[in-house]
Amino acid sequence: MNTEDTIVYHGSTSMIGKIEVARGKPYKDFGRGFYVTKSKHHAVSIALRNKRIEMERFGKYCEAYLCTYTMNMIGLRDFTVKIFIDADVDWAEFVLANRKSRNRTHNYDVVIGPTANDDTMVVINAYLDGLYGDVGSDDAFRVLLRNIEAEKLPEQIYFSSDEATGLLIPKGPVMKL
């Protein structure tokens, strides 16, 4: 591994061979696509949470898996990339647009930024319901951002195309959790 590479993780309830972006679920933070994180703990928690949800929803047993990849960071320059340093107003508007739409709302190949977790979505839904003031107002957005607790949100990396996922090289076997 060279200095332009970083290790990233993907938690899933499916064995992943070839990454297929089209299999991603809609209504996610950055749109339908493939997501990884630099946090192994976060990827494991996502896999285990999704396992629990699927077992409760469909009533049949499933497994949870952790995939590890080496990501070519230098290769990002060949794609259209959006980076959110913080969970700020721009990030919140971006997440809101994607969480409300079945289809992607942007033209980025890769998006990097904080993850809107389940607690975050409660706060975002309260904002959308007008509980913080008029939706779209500066005051309501300030309350939204204060309640999100952005410092607790792990970073995620989103890929919108199979070409962009070419930056990910599988590292070792898939681990059953």
Q: How confident is the model at residue 150 (pLDDT cuts 50, 70, 90)?
A: low
All residues at 6 or more sequence positions from 146 whose CB lies less than 8 Å from its CB, including other chains: none
Q: How confident is the model at residue 152 (pLDDT cuts 50, 70, 90)?
A: confident
Token pair belonging to 16 = 């992943």
Paired strand residues for 81: 110
pLDDT higher at 50 or 104: 50
Q: Read off the DSSP letter of residue 174.
A: P
Residue type, 3: T
What does the pLDDT read at residue 2?
56
pLDDT higher at 135 or 107: 107
Number of Cβ atoms within 10 Å of the Cβ of 109: 20
CA distance 92 to 23: 25
What does the pLDDT read at residue 9?
97
The structural domains of the chain, with segments of one domain joined by +, span 5-117+153-176
CA distance 62 to 104: 28
Q: How many residues does the chain have?
A: 177
Q: How confident is the model at residue 116 (pLDDT cuts 50, 70, 90)?
A: confident
What does the pLDDT read at residue 118?
66
- The predicted-structure confidence for 43-86, as pLDDT tens digits, reads as follows 999 999 999 989 998 888 899 999 999 999 999 999 999 999 98
What does the pLDDT read at residue 89?
78
What does the pLDDT read at residue 122?
83
